[in-house]
Amino acid sequence: MKEEMAQREASELQRDPRRPRSPEGWGLLQALWYLAFFEPVVTEGHLRRRNMEFIFVRFSAWQYAGCDKLWAGLVTTLCHNIRRHFGALLLSVFHVMGTRPRYASGFTRTEWLLKTGTCLKLWGMLLVLGVGLAILLVALLVPGIKDNHVLKVVGSAIASLSGSSLVLGAASVLKNLLVSEKKKIERLTNSDRFASQLGFMSKVHNEVEALVDFLAFMEIFERRRLRVVLEITSLDICLPEKVAGVLNAMNTLLSDTNAPFIFILAVDPSVIVPCLEQTGCMRGLADNGYLYLNRTVTLPFSIPEMGARSRLRCVEAAIQTREDLMYRIIAANVERRRAKCQGGVGGVPAVPSWKEADSNAVSCIHEAFRCLHDGSDVLSRYLPTNGAHVRRIVNTIPITLRLLLHRAGSAGTFGAPEPRAAAAWVVLADRWPCRLSWALQCLEDAGQSQVSAPDSAPDSTRDRGTRKLWSIFKENVGELSALRQPLHNVLSLDGDPELFQSFLDADFPFTDQDAREFLGVTVNLDHSIRHKMGLLRGLDRLQ
């Protein structure tokens, strides 16, 4: 959008040599002059203008999720950002003296018409003020008339009455300057009579209309079109009634045909639609949230699935945020130099500490990140297409590797863990938490049954540590299918089942021994899922 804005600006300068104006410095005084004494006119030339400026406003619904009316937060964010963009003085003067632009009645290039009525009123008040001050001065200074109290009273009254209008106008501007539109709306929402305040929506709508008129005025002054782009995010982590409130605000308060607003609604429809269907805003639409979204959204843009290069770029961006690892490399090198200089006492090497084990993990972490970012490695094929999941994987791998190294150090063997295998295990737990939890639960149940009856399954004991995790899952997948109804929400967390098979059966054939080693350091797997599966499996066997 910024590139489009620059291209349109350049092409418009070729058509019209007059440069756009900005309400800064001398331009601010010009804008105040036009606000006070001129009325804007929408001409044919203005409608033909192609140059445009986008005012970007970001609204995170999560920041206002705690307030009673989330849509009020949307309106206050809009008012606050427009006020900050143009300045409080311009908007305050417009509230007092500004007028809505009117369309030209014919073919004319005149974009500003003098406010004859305003000028006559101003000159009349100044004239009356001058007359009153003259009478007062004559009554106070001219000899022989000083004792005339009537002239003093008349002069004071005329001067005060005429000057009071100017003082009231200045006071109104000062009031709007100190009390912003955001504070006005917040004051209304915080009122104890908010629920029974019938004119509340009308007042909010009037504030929005005033903003729309102000933007139309600034369009003519700046000689370009203005569009306010509202990016609404984090709506899919709010309560259902909050979601419906924001969408209703978009439809009712800000959806005027001439309103210069563009909404970018960044949401997950699979989350938003159930929220809408739980509220009462679906009347007449057969409780179909998709119909409601189709009527609200005028330009749907479903982000396509990430390709291989896009996934690698996402991994690279997530890795670059871990600057702490780079500093740890420097610190680790310093610690190694100190250890070499000091050596051991009496020729006995020093025992590695937890800090040294943690610093040694940095090289393993970088190796794991290299495997993730290597397009030729099969592991990159299983990376998720969701940026949030990629960041979770990148943040989990360092913790997993440090825990593995710390566990080895506690046992007295400081062997470096396999970084690629650890990274693959983290990806497995993130992509298929339900299926992995089921395989681990079946593995745990099999181990418990062997402990309780060691002589009943000698073959299973002999194969312990060599059985593939995929074989364990495949043997018990029928039982998981029977429990798919109570585990419906958990199963929906998993990715492609066919990729799960190729991951465990061919590319990363983890064994039951590998699973036992990784289970104690698996921090990105919700263990309550496995606990729930164990309870359901036990109840099913009782039946």
DSSP per-residue letters across 151-176: HHHHHHHHHHHHHHHHHHHHHHHHHH
Q: What is the pLDDT of residue 454?
A: 55
Poorest-pLDDT segment among 191-200, 229-238, 333-342: 191-200
| 435 has a pLDDT exceeding 90 | yes
Give 141-191 pLDDT, tens digit per residue: 655 555 556 666 666 666 666 666 666 767 777 777 777 767 776 666 665
pLDDT, residue 429, reads 93
Q: How much is the pLDDT for 427?
A: 94
Is residue 515 situated within a structural domain?
yes
Q: Is residue 432 part of a domain?
A: yes
Separation of alpha carbons 476 and 270, rounded Å: 30
Longest dimension (CA), the chain: 132
Burial bucket for residue 543 (CB in 10 Å: 0-12, 13-18, 19+): exposed
User: pLDDT digit string (tens) for 94-114?
Assistant: 888 888 888 887 777 788 888
Q: Sign of the CA dihedral 348, 354, 355, 358?
A: positive
Evaluate if residue 344 carries a pLDDT over 50: no
Q: Which residues pair with 262 in a beta bridge?
A: 229
Distance CA 486, CA 493 (A): 14
Question: How long a stretch of residues is the chain?
Answer: 543
Which of 13-17, 256-260, 283-287 has the lowest average pLDDT? 283-287
Which region holds residue 208: left if phi is over 0, alpha if psi is between -120 and 50, else beta?
Answer: alpha
pLDDT at 510 over 70: yes
Question: In the block, which residue shows the tokens 């291989």?
Answer: 308
CA distance 144 to 153: 16
In a domain, 344, yes or no: no
pLDDT band at 504 (very low <50, low <70, confident <90, very high): very high
Q: Is residue 513 part of a domain?
A: yes
Give the per-residue pLDDT at 110: 84
Residues 6+ apart with CB under 8 A from 182: 76, 77, 79, 80, 83
Mean pLDDT of the chain: 78
Q: Is 184 helix (H, G, I), strand (E, B) or coil?
A: helix
> Quick one: pLDDT band at residue 509, thresholds 50, 70, 90?
very high
Q: Give the residue with greater pLDDT, 201 vs 295.
A: 295
Two tokens at 192? 């104890």
Find residue 489's DSSP bridge partners: none
Would residue 1 count as lying in a domain?
A: no
Helix (H), strand (E), coil (C) string for 397-430: HHHHHHHHHHHHHHCCCCCCCCHHHHHHHHHHHH
Task: Specify the number of domains making up the chain.
Answer: 1
The answer to whether position 392 is within a domain reads: yes
Is residue 127 exposed (0-12), middle (13-18) or buried (19+ Cβ within 10 Å)?
A: exposed
The beta strands (E) that lie in 92-192 are given as: 102-103, 112-114
* 62-66, 259-263, 342-346, range with the lowest pLDDT: 342-346
* All residues at 6 or more sequence positions from 172 whose CB lies less than 8 Å from its CB, including other chains: 95, 96
pLDDT digits (tens, 9 = 90+) for 267-287: 888 888 888 888 766 665 557
Residue 495, domain extent: 308-333+354-450+464-542
Structure tokens at 350: 């020093």
Q: Indicate the pairing of strand 112-114 with strand 38-42.
A: antiparallel
Q: Is the pLDDT of residue 419 over 70?
A: yes
Contact 243, 272 (CB under 8 A): yes
Confidence at 253, pLDDT banded by 50, 70, 90: low
Range in 38-52, 55-69, 522-536 the model is least confident about: 55-69
> With bands split at pLDDT 50, 70 and 90, how would you rate the model's confidence at 348?
very low
pLDDT confidence tier of residue 317, bands split at 50, 70 and 90:
confident
Q: With pLDDT > 70 as the criterion, what percentage of the chain qualifies?
A: 74
Backbone angles phi, psi at 523, to 5 degrees: -100, -15
Contacts of 364 (CB under 8 A, 6+ apart): 401, 405, 416, 417, 419, 422
Return the DSSP state at 52: E
- Evaluate whether residue 434 is within a structural domain: yes
Query: What would the pLDDT profile of 198-246 be if each residue is shown by its tens digit?
Result: 456 677 777 888 888 999 999 999 989 999 999 988 888 888 878 887 8
Residue 280 lies in a domain: no
Q: Are strands 52-60 and 225-233 parallel, antiparallel or unpaired?
A: parallel
The mean-pLDDT minimum among 151-155, 323-327, 389-393, 509-513 falls in 323-327
Q: Average pLDDT of 475-484?
A: 88
pLDDT over 90 percentage in the chain? 12
Judged against a pLDDT cut of 90, whether residue 425 lies above it is answered with: yes
pLDDT for 272: 85
